[in-house]
Chains A and B, each alone.
Chain A
């Protein structure tokens, strides 16, 4: 007990010693091109650049933290970080527990990836990541769901025959299909799930959310957000952008 108190005291003193107010951005780090950890060990991807830009515009000092998908919302509420920026779709279910900013990626399609283009989705299990809207969709639509903790494992399941297909965000699966040398193909069927991607905040953090909302708005208004989305290393020129709809009320 004594050791615990001393450790806490030390940590508090050390904490007080650092001067600036830091906003901590939490991401998953396993979902290229949205967010991933590059080989240098740093968070990279569209959301890295986007998040840094938002912080600059909002005048905040930001730090990046990674967290597993499963505990990303509970850890937001515990205060491990202040913002969730992890390709998280805006859904009513999530709205009940956290607040979302304005969307920064328009609702995009979810696709199926399989070993052949005429795979019957009822012929075997369909893979998805635990706790995603795709997983809920599969369960609700009569297909047999098999869940994995990380997105990469869901694709590996298709490769080694554990699942007949995987349902995930199209932007995540396209590079997988392209780089598989024909082994993996996207099915024609697509699903439209979720209300776009937004930042997650604690319910009590309205002030912080408004700062980020303003920064997102400014990026939509001057077109930098659309330009960032369509970069080839992120979502490419064919990706859905905000266009004129994003410029309303600028």
Chain B
């Protein structure tokens, strides 16, 4: 990046450190933080949406819908998410390509042949001749969808429990006032549900942040990938040889995640305060005593 870095073997000390930390691979490392943030920005609302759908479905009075919701919540809860990621991503990829092959392929051969999955070249998603960017973007999209489905099920479970935790007295009072079921849901259940859901949802947001290293297992070049890659000892074959620095790189990742979760905790605390106003809970009490 800088001219002084043209010959890494001739420099040392702070200059070496500066050149080392701005090498091409390090720039890729810094950019990979954006990949992680992008994943979170898309997955969180998607998971919340899926969770809400799942919880509402599970509470429905229509038996098949309720059954579907409950199976969704339960199936994904039952399987460790790492297995889901390892397996589901390949399966989803193949299902998409199979669907595409039905549309664009001349022959409609069954793609699963023995150990291979074969579709005509036009059905490949992304196409083999697309640039590396599209392949990475597609892999990323698969990861997002998988994350949203997995965490959506957990969110559904928390929201389901929270909906059940709203004191029945509140709902009965609302009915006594003549509100319809939909009105009770919208005006009483939903706003009051959040305070009960918040500890669980807050926990899940933290868990989602912490699950982002799974991107690395899916072959996406995320921050864990680069930390391992950059931290391992390097021989003279490399421009910047060094010893085993993995401990330091992972400490740096630790600091990043701690900073991120700290900001999240502050945000969640603010929301909890806001929702605790006027609530007959110990938390609401504490606010009243503190004059908040």
Give chain A's interface residues, CB within 8 Å of chain B.
4, 7-8, 11-12, 14-16, 18-22, 24, 29-30, 32-33, 36-42, 45, 63, 65, 67-68, 71, 74-75, 77-80, 82, 97, 150, 152-153, 155-156, 159, 175-176, 179, 202-204, 233
Instruction: Assess whether B131 is in contact with A18, with CB atoms less than 8 Å apart.
Output: yes
Chain B, range 35-88, C-beta contacts under 8 Å to A: none
9 tightest A-B CB contacts, nearest first = A15-B127, A40-B24, A15-B130, A152-B232, A41-B24, A32-B237, A39-B23, A39-B239, A41-B25
B28 close to chain A: CB less than 8 A: yes
Chain A residues near B115 (CB, 8 Å)? 77, 97
> Does any Cβ of A come within 8 Å of B278's Cβ?
no
A-B contact pairs, 29 of them (CB 8 A): A4-B96, A8-B100, A11-B138, A12-B125, A15-B125, A15-B127, A18-B129, A21-B129, A22-B129, A30-B229, A32-B238, A33-B237, A39-B8, A39-B238, A40-B23, A40-B239, A41-B23, A41-B25, A41-B27, A77-B115, A78-B94, A78-B117, A155-B233, A159-B244, A179-B241, A202-B116, A203-B116, A204-B118, A233-B237
Whether, in the assembled complex, B124 has its beta carbon less than 8 Å from a beta carbon of chain A, the answer is yes
> Which residues of B come within 8 Å of A, CB atoms?
8, 20, 23-25, 27-28, 90, 93-94, 96, 100, 115-118, 124-132, 134-135, 137-138, 141, 145, 219, 228-229, 232-233, 235-241, 244
Interchain CA distance A78-B86 in the complex, whole Å: 13
* Closest chain B residue, CB of each to CB of A155: B233
Residues of B within 8 A of A33 (CB): 237
On whether A79 and B128 interact (CB within 8 A), knowing A38-B239, A39-B25, the answer reads: yes
The minimal Cβ–Cβ distance linking B284 to chain A, given in whole angstroms, is 39
Q: Is the Cβ of A75 less than 8 Å from the Cβ of B96? A: no
Cross-chain contact B233 with A152 (CB below 8 angstroms)? yes
A165 to B192, CA, bound (A): 62
- Choose from B125, B135, B229, B235 the contact partner of A179 (Cβ within 8 Å): B235
Nearest CB on A from B47, distance (A): 14
What are the residues of chain A within 8 A of B241 when measuring CB–CB? 179
A74 to B219, CA, bound (A): 12
Query: In the complex, which residue of chain A has the Cβ closest to the Cβ of B119?
Result: A79
Taking CB as reference atom, which chain B residue is nearest A82? B128
Given contacts A80-B135, A155-B233, 20 further A-B contacts (CB under 8 A): A8-B125, A11-B130, A15-B127, A18-B131, A20-B129, A32-B238, A38-B25, A38-B239, A40-B25, A40-B239, A41-B25, A41-B27, A63-B132, A67-B219, A80-B219, A150-B232, A175-B235, A175-B237, A176-B235, A204-B118
Asked if B239 contacts A153 (CB within 8 A), the reply is no
Distance to closest chain B CB from A141 (angstroms)? 28
Report which of A14, A20, A37, A155 forms a contact with B229, defined as CB distance below 8 A: A37
In the complex formed, the residue of B with least CB distance to A153 is B232
Which of B20, B28, B128, B130 is within 8 Å of A14, CB to CB? B130
